[in-house]
Amino acid sequence: MKGQILAGVWVPGLPHVLRPERNAGWATLYRGISGLESKISALKPDVIVLYSTQWVSVLGTSFQIQPNPKGVHVDENWYDLGDLPFDFKTDVGIGARFAASIGERMPTKAVNYEEFPIDTGSIVAMRLLNAEAKLPVSIVSSWVYADAAKSGELGRIMRETILSSGKRVVVAASSLLSARYFTHEIDPVADRVSSLEDDAWNRKFLGLLESGNFDAAASQAVQYAKSSPLDMQLNAFHWLRGGDGRRSSSGTCDRLRANLGNGGCRGGILYGTRSRKMKLETINSPRAPFPLGNYSHAVAYGDLVFISGIAARDPKTNQVPGLKLDADGKKIGYDIRAETRSTLENIRTILEDAGSDLEHVIEVNTYLLEMKDFGAYNEVYAEFFARHKPARTTIGVASLPGHIAIEMKMVAVRKRNG
Amino acid sequence: VAKGSIVAGFLAPHPPHLVYAENPPQNRVKSQGGWETLRWAYEACRESVRALRPDVILVHSPHWTTIVGHHFVAVPKLKGRSVDPIFPHLFQYDFEMTVDTALAELCREEAEREGLTAKLMTHPGFRIDYGTIVSLHMLNPKWDIPVLPVSANNSPYFCSLETGQEQMVKLGRATARAIERRGVRAVVVASNTLSHLHFSEEPNPPEDMSKEHVQSFAQYQWDMKVIELMREGKIDELIAVLPQFINEAFAEVRSGGLMWMLSALGFPRTRAKLHGYGTVIGTGNAVMEWIPSDEERQ
């Protein structure tokens, strides 16, 4: 089975985020990141692949393959914030595959040593995204000699490896944005953005991510780096961009401010979005009645989902609810309300399996065999679209396949953040 | 308490390769040797340290990087295993050190008098960086002399080199005053490589010296130039050329250890003794010693 990158996540890997009681901005970050854990869990990934800018390597890129790193880390800077216990499982297999595939094209090492000093960025990210260590992780170092091109190349090769691995993967970057710190002690309560110029750049960059414009973000990163000191030259972004292969699509970017006085440098962003390539993807839901012709339940292109014409059928019995046939198989009665309800339930199932739902439907086309059924159909329809009212067209048609009285097709967008 | 003094300064680079090559009992990883010229240089330093009979060795390491201020370890005993995050296959070292915490407190006080942000690191679970451990091992593998690790404030990197150097001059003065007040004979150690661009791949085995050479001719020329200035005691010229050296040779002395040590020694005109020069995966390393004159010690 082909592997998948289910989502990309960006988190600031500073222990301040674990002390939300000390600063409102830290608390905002904590709440935001904590919410990501359940979203990641819902995606049911096999592994989290984590790139940490605080694990700096010299001899190329390193991959952690120690099966069970555990211990208590004390950060070299922020030891006053408390111990950082860690105990997580490593996906040794995928780490070794990364090292092998990368090793063919650039320097790399697989790292398997007891008491290896796991970095703060990795520990903080795991504490927030995978608190109970239910998911295995594969940690990737930040090569000190990598530039944007090398980091992107690293991401691209890792993406290929993920796809060939058959694994369902969430990729995570533990990195700051701008990295201009206060150089004197401050009261944590008073922590704030220290550089308005950095803040403006951070916001501009986040805005590009929010609109899904990764290409523009990448081109702006050059100027961004000239204006603000960036965490490892923003290589985590270039890795993530290469890693999920996106070019343009919608994403979700929660901007979170008040980051230890450095314009997001010790704070930053949370970025969570489904990361699918802009390519055609056919969707057939095993929970919906199987297609009766040569078609798929739906086709997705990026975040758009196009649902085929769907009709009423019980997925278990394959019968049309309310339909009455005589001994010769001739239609003698039907229930438009039951058919409408069944049709919409089937569509809802397909939408869910496509990563969307009725709340994200853009357009509805309904085909009625009898326009006299409009009122009853409309009443049932209103039960499903009580608040959200997509654009809709209802047409009377001369005939429909089989014995159905109604068929509906829809266009929807995928839900953000899974 | 008698007035303390600095009895020597050392430029003591910290490639873990040197410990690995020596095969000391503390390191779990074993080698077939290698980097002999640097290790022989350190043998001479060890003899010098024994002869000087210092009460404490202070070491400034770039691998304990602090963002807010200058930190001093103030935990009486630190013990553990240090695995180098960059070269874990070479360095898995069991260390045990005694820290002069009283000197740490005095250093903090004096640093604050200089207007610096300074802090005592008092967490008993603190992970000492491998740079500190390597330099200290190479100078005193018995670990029978108390030590004081000093952090490298990150200001030369995210503020400016000038800001960083100004801070190190102040920190050096503060350190010297603290040593005087403490009444100890101290050795100050700059744990720094000179030119610092590495190769990204290492030979197999890493100690295959047929593959070891300087990363570039330009780096080599720079290393020789600054070594010569130090050997001749031309400190003013050295200070003047340091920014260009740092930028062009990616020199690790940017992190401040050398400037701190020279400042603590009062920028001595004494000729530095070169114990040896060698490269480690392409970086340039000089092991050097300054013995201040009686006048300079005053």
- Shortest distance, CA A105 to any CA of chain B (angstroms): 12
pLDDT digit string, tens, across residues A308-333: 999 999 988 889 999 999 988 899 99
| pLDDT surpassing 60 at residue A255 | no
Over residues B256-268, the mean pLDDT reads: 95
Q: Please report the pLDDT score of residue B257 as a whole number.
A: 96
Structure tokens at A140: 């990737």
Structure tokens at A359: 């709340």
Residue B238 vs residues A356, B152, B224, B241, B262: alpha-carbon distances, Å: 66, 21, 12, 5, 11
pLDDT digit string, tens, across residues A147-167: 988 998 898 899 889 989 999
pLDDT digit string, tens, across residues A114-130: 999 999 999 999 998 99
Question: Do A244 and A302 sit in the same domain of this protein?
Answer: no
Q: Please report the pLDDT score of residue B125 as a whole number.
A: 92
List CB contacts (< 8 A) between B69 and chain A. 183-185
CA atoms of A268 and A240, how far apart (whole Å): 15
Of B65, B81, B158, the CB nearest to A76: B65
- Shortest distance, CA B39 to any CA of chain A (angstroms): 23
Instruction: Give the DSSP letter of residue A415.
Output: P
Question: Do A357 and A376 sit in the same domain of this protein?
Answer: yes
Of A58, A73, A114, the CB nearest to B86: A58
Question: Do A177 and A164 sit in the same domain of this protein?
Answer: yes
Within a domain: A39: yes
Question: Do A311 and A329 sit in the same domain of this protein?
Answer: yes
CATH number for position A179: 3.40.830.10
Which of A261, A277, A293 marks a domain boundary? A277
- Sign of the C-alpha dihedral, residues A214, A121, B61, B106? positive
Within a domain: A418: no
Of B68, B83, B201, the CB nearest to A185: B68
Question: Do A359 and A307 sit in the same domain of this protein?
Answer: yes
Residue of B66, B68, B71, B112 best to disrupt the A interface, most CBs of A under 10 A = B68
A176 near A258, Cβ under 8 Å? no
pLDDT digit string, tens, across residues B37-79: 999 999 999 999 999 999 999 999 999 999 889 999 999 999 9
List CB contacts (< 8 A) between B125 and chain A. 72, 74, 83
CA atoms of B258 and A359, how far apart (whole Å): 64
Query: What residues 210-249 of chain B have any CB closer than 8 A to a CB of chain A?
Result: none
Domain that holds residue A354: 282-413
Strand partners, A283: A298
Identify the CA nearest to A410 among candidates A335, A313, A299, A315: A299
CA atoms of A80 and B205, how far apart (whole Å): 41
Q: Please report the pLDDT score of residue A258 as a whole number.
A: 24
For A203, residues 6+ apart whose C-beta sits below 8 A from its C-beta are A255
Quote the percentage of chain B above a pLDDT of 70.
98
For A166, residues 6+ apart whose C-beta sits below 8 A from its C-beta are A1, A2, A3
First to last CA, chain A: 21
CATH number for position A295: 3.30.1330.40
How does residue A294 score in pLDDT terms, banded at 50, 70 and 90? confident
Question: Do A168 and A301 sit in the same domain of this protein?
Answer: no
Please state the ipTM of this predicted complex: 0.89
Question: Do A259 and A380 sit in the same domain of this protein?
Answer: no
Indicate the number of domains in chain A: 2
Identify the CA nearest to A128 among candidates A8, A31, A223, A217: A31
- Sign of the C-alpha dihedral, residues A94, A95, A96, A97? positive
Strand partners, B283: B280
Question: Do A79 and A222 sit in the same domain of this protein?
Answer: yes
Q: Please report the pLDDT score of residue B283 as a whole number.
A: 96
Residue type, B114: E
CA atoms of B234 and A396, how far apart (whole Å): 97
Which of A251, A277, A303 marks a domain boundary? A277
Q: What is the mean pLDDT of chain A?
A: 84
Which of A277, A303, A319 marks a domain boundary? A277
Question: Do A296 and A232 sit in the same domain of this protein?
Answer: no
Over residues B101-125, the mean pLDDT reads: 96
Residue A40 vs residues A48, A170, A249, A325, B230: alpha-carbon distances, Å: 9, 7, 20, 48, 57
Q: How many Cβ contacts (< 8 angstroms) between chains A and B?
A: 84
Within a domain: A104: yes
Instruction: Give the DSSP letter of residue B186.
Output: E
How does residue B7 score in pLDDT terms, banded at 50, 70 and 90? very high
- Shortest distance, CA A193 to any CA of chain B (angstroms): 16
CA atoms of A119 and A76, how far apart (whole Å): 10
Please name the residue that has the structure tokens 């040197």.
B18
Q: Is B65 on the interface with A (CB under 8 A)?
A: yes
Please name the residue that has the structure tokens 């339909």.
A323
Q: Is B85 on the interface with A (CB under 8 A)?
A: yes
Q: How many residues does chain B have?
A: 298
For B204, residues 6+ apart whose C-beta sits below 8 A from its C-beta are none
Residue A39 vs residues A34, A232, A272, A397, B245: alpha-carbon distances, Å: 9, 28, 9, 43, 50
CA atoms of B187 and B145, how far apart (whole Å): 10
For B149, residues 6+ apart whose C-beta sits below 8 A from its C-beta are B58, B59, B61, B64, B72, B73, B99, B128, B129, B132
Over residues B18-27, the mean pLDDT reads: 98
CA atoms of A193 and A30, how far apart (whole Å): 17
